[in-house]
């Protein structure tokens, strides 16, 4: 069927008639004359001018041109039959820690030692690709929390901006409470089923910055129906070799597992511990098994201008 994007422009069709009857006609200049001594010299010139005079358009041709101009200005479009787009997924926000401690190289990918953020990008990127039908968003947090990607079906954009993130981009400390608060704020802009709201929060430390305490933010999230899955990342032991020999340290000594567990419990989620890449992959594989909630179907109508 044909659809006009701006149908109100058809109200301008009688505009030429209105202008014709409301504006005064031009005055006649037939009485103007020029006296010259040799009138014969101007007769040939007068005949040439009359020969070159442009003929006026016929009234029907001008009317047709005006009608076609108005139709074109109203933006006609051809609409096909509507296509149903079933949406079965969840609204899933990911919050990733970019604090300075994420630079510890205690993970391995394909026999290569990498830092925690690189491992997160590797595993979470595959997780994003598998979440077909979900709306995904991305929050990056350090000393402050930033909304990097609002909820969208464009999984490629979410993965690209996650890969472009860098350690220290949001500050050197960790504001877990602010990240949860920002997620709640973004979800509250939506009027859809709260049972589909999920936040996956990944961090390797404790709350050391921000304006909101993590447990207070978790209580607010629970009130609004936001379920939070927390992931504590980092190995329990790391071998350092230097001039004095070999030392064994615990790079996850600052990880506040107690708070992360309480956040998950308050919101009906779960806490996971990822000590290496394999465990991190298992966690995201388990998160893949979240049961989708059926939403109202969306409709898309193809159009051609």
- Walk along the chain (305 residues) in steps of 10 and give the mean pLDDT of each run: 81 84 67 54 53 59 86 79 62 92 88 90 91 89 93 92 92 92 85 74 90 93 92 81 69 86 94 90 84 54 55
Do 119 and 261 have their domain in common?
yes
Is-contact 97 33, C-beta < 8 A? no
Q: Is residue 159 part of a domain?
A: yes
Q: Is residue 7 part of a domain?
A: yes
Do 15 and 144 have their domain in common?
no
Do 128 and 61 have their domain in common?
no
Do 166 and 285 have their domain in common?
yes
Among residues 196, 273, 257, 199, which one has the least CA distance to residue 229?
199
Do 73 and 100 have their domain in common?
no
Do 146 and 285 have their domain in common?
yes
- The total domain count for the chain is 2
Do 8 and 136 have their domain in common?
no
Q: What is the pLDDT of residue 24?
A: 73
Q: Is residue 305 part of a domain?
A: no
Sole residue written with tokens 């179907």? 297
CATH of the domain at 203: 3.40.50.410
Residue 12 structural domain:
1-20+54-83
Do 185 and 66 have their domain in common?
no
Q: Of the residues 62, 83, 104, which one is the last residue of a structural domain? A: 83
Cα–Cα distance, 255 to 253 (Å, whole number): 6
* Neighbour order of strands in the sheet with 303-304: 2-4, 76-79, 303-304
Q: What is the pLDDT of residue 83?
A: 59
Q: Is residue 275 part of a domain?
A: yes
Cα–Cα distance, 81 to 98 (Å, whole number): 47
Using DSSP bridges, classify how beta strands 83-85 and 298-300 pair: parallel, antiparallel or unpaired: antiparallel
Q: Is the pTM of this model over 0.95?
A: no
Q: What is the pLDDT of residue 190?
A: 65
Q: Is residue 299 part of a domain?
A: no
Q: Is residue 31 part of a domain?
A: no
Helices 155-163 and 116-130: crossing angle, nearest 10°?
A: 180
Q: Is residue 41 part of a domain?
A: no
Q: Is residue 300 part of a domain?
A: no
First to last CA, the chain: 12
Do 146 and 66 have their domain in common?
no
Instruction: Compute φ and ψ for 146, nearest 5 degrees.
Output: -130, 140
Using DSSP bridges, classify how beta strands 91-97 and 135-141 pair: parallel, antiparallel or unpaired: parallel
């Amino acid at each position: 069927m044909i659809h006009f994007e701006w149908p109100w422009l058809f109200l301008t069709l009688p505009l030429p008639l209105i202008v014709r009857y409301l504006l005064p006609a031009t005055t006649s200049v037939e009485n103007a004359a020029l006296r010259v001594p040799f009138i014969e010299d101007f007769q040939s010139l007068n005949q040439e001018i009359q020969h070159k005079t442009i003929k006026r358009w016929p009234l029907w041709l001008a009317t047709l041109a005006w009608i076609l101009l108005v139709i074109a200005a109203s933006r006609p479009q051809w609409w096909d039959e509507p296509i149903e787009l079933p949406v079965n997924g969840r609204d899933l926000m990911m919050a990733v820690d970019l604090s300075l401690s994420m630079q510890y190289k205690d993970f391995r990918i394909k026999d290569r030692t990498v830092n925690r953020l690189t491992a997160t990008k590797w595993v979470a990127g595959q997780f994003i690709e598998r979440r077909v039908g979900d709306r995904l968003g991305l929050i990056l947090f350090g000393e402050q929390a930033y909304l990097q990607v609002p909820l969208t079906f464009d999984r490629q954009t979410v993965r690209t901006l996650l890969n472009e993130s860098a350690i220290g981009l949001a500050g050197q400390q960790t504001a877990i409470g602010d990240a949860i608060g920002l997620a709640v704020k973004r979800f509250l802009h939506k009027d859809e089923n709260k049972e589909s709201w999920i936040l996956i929060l990944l961090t390797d430390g404790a709350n050391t910055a921000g304006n909101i305490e993590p447990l207070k933010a978790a209580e607010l999230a629970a009130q609004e129906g936001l379920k939070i899955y927390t992931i504590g990342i980092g190995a329990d032991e790391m071998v350092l070799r230097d001039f004095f020999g070999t030392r064994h340290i615990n790079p996850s000594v600052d990880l506040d597992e107690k708070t992360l567990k309480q956040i998950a419990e308050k919101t009906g989620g779960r806490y996971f511990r990822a000590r290496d890449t394999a465990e991190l992959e298992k966690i995201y594989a388990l998160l893949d098994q979240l049961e989708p909630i059926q939403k109202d179907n969306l409709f898309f109508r193809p159009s051609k201008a």
